[in-house]
Structure 1
Amino acid sequence: MKTDNVVQNKSYEFALKIVRVYKFLSQEKNEFVLSKQLLRSGTSVGANIEEAIGGQSKADFFAKITIAYKEARESKYWIRLLRDSDYLTIKQSDDLLIDIEELLKIIGSIQKSIRNS
């Protein structure tokens, strides 16, 4: 396995943060609906990147990367909603939003490279 895959590593680290945020929201804030949505989309980013890496064709890779991008966009939505509804602090949400923006840029760049090849 390649250990220097930036998007793979960053998406995994993001998923770990999301799991911790989910634990915090469900245990400390008794919030289960929005946090579950964030848990699903936030961990799905890395899962789809892993699937893309193991893709059987260029088309399969592109399809999974596109799903990862959509899941990242959805995660950004849930983070903002949790912040604006006062479940997450500005600091908590800003850290996550910085991470997801970085992932969106990387994944978007990968999509662009594939389209142009």
Structure 2
Amino acid sequence: MTKTYNLEERTYEFARNCRFLIAKLPKTIQNIEDGKQLVRSSGSVAANYIEANEKLGDKDFVFRVKIARKEAKESKLWLRLLETQNPKLKEFINPLYNEADELRKILSAILNKS
């Protein structure tokens, strides 16, 4: 997976790749429910970062970046749960988990500079 340095594009790619992962999962109750949550949280990272860039002011920017960071942390939870249920898919899940953590760190750095 190559790194994208445009953060709007990178958050989009994260959400898209989470959806590709979900398509590979066996259709169990756990995978369906955790997959739905991952779809929401990964998409929310991207959506809130885009909204932050269309800010109405500095407070709005900080608020949206905080939400995006929170959703990145939440995505890590769903990915961990999915890995527990699907250890054979670890090679697909681990890079997404690492990307969620990197996005969280980047968003934290943005907040520290704001």
Same fold (TM over 0.5): yes
Normalising by the smaller structure, the TM-score range is 0.7 to 0.9
Q: Which is worse superposed, 78-87 or 4-13?
A: 4-13
Partner of 2:15: 15
Unpaired runs of at least 5, structure 2? none
Q: Deviations over 1:58-85 (max 9, x none)?
A: 0001000000000000000000010012
Q: SS in structure 1 opposite 2:55?
A: coil
**Normalised TM-score (structure 1):** 0.85
* Cα distance change, pair 95–109 in 1 and its aligned pair in 2 (3 A): same
Partner of 1:44: 44
| Displacement of 1:5 | 6.3
Partner of 1:82: 82
Question: In 2, Cα distance between the equivalents of 1:5 and 1:111?
Answer: 18
Question: In 2, Cα distance between the equivalents of 1:75 and 1:52?
Answer: 19
Q: SS in structure 2 opposite 1:32?
A: helix
Matches within 5 A, 1:24-35: 24-25=24-25, 29-30=26-27, 31-35=31-35
Unpaired runs of at least 5, structure 1? none
Instruction: Among all aligned residue pairs of Structure 1 and Structure 2, give the percentage whose two residues are the same amino acid.
Output: 33
Question: In 1, Cα distance between the equivalents of 2:87 and 2:48?
Answer: 27
**Normalised TM-score (structure 2):** 0.87
Question: In 2, Cα distance between the equivalents of 1:88 and 1:62?
Answer: 39
Q: Which runs of 4+ in 1 moved over 4 A?
A: none
CA RMSD of aligned residues (A): 1.6
Question: In 2, Cα distance between the equivalents of 1:71 and 1:88?
Answer: 25
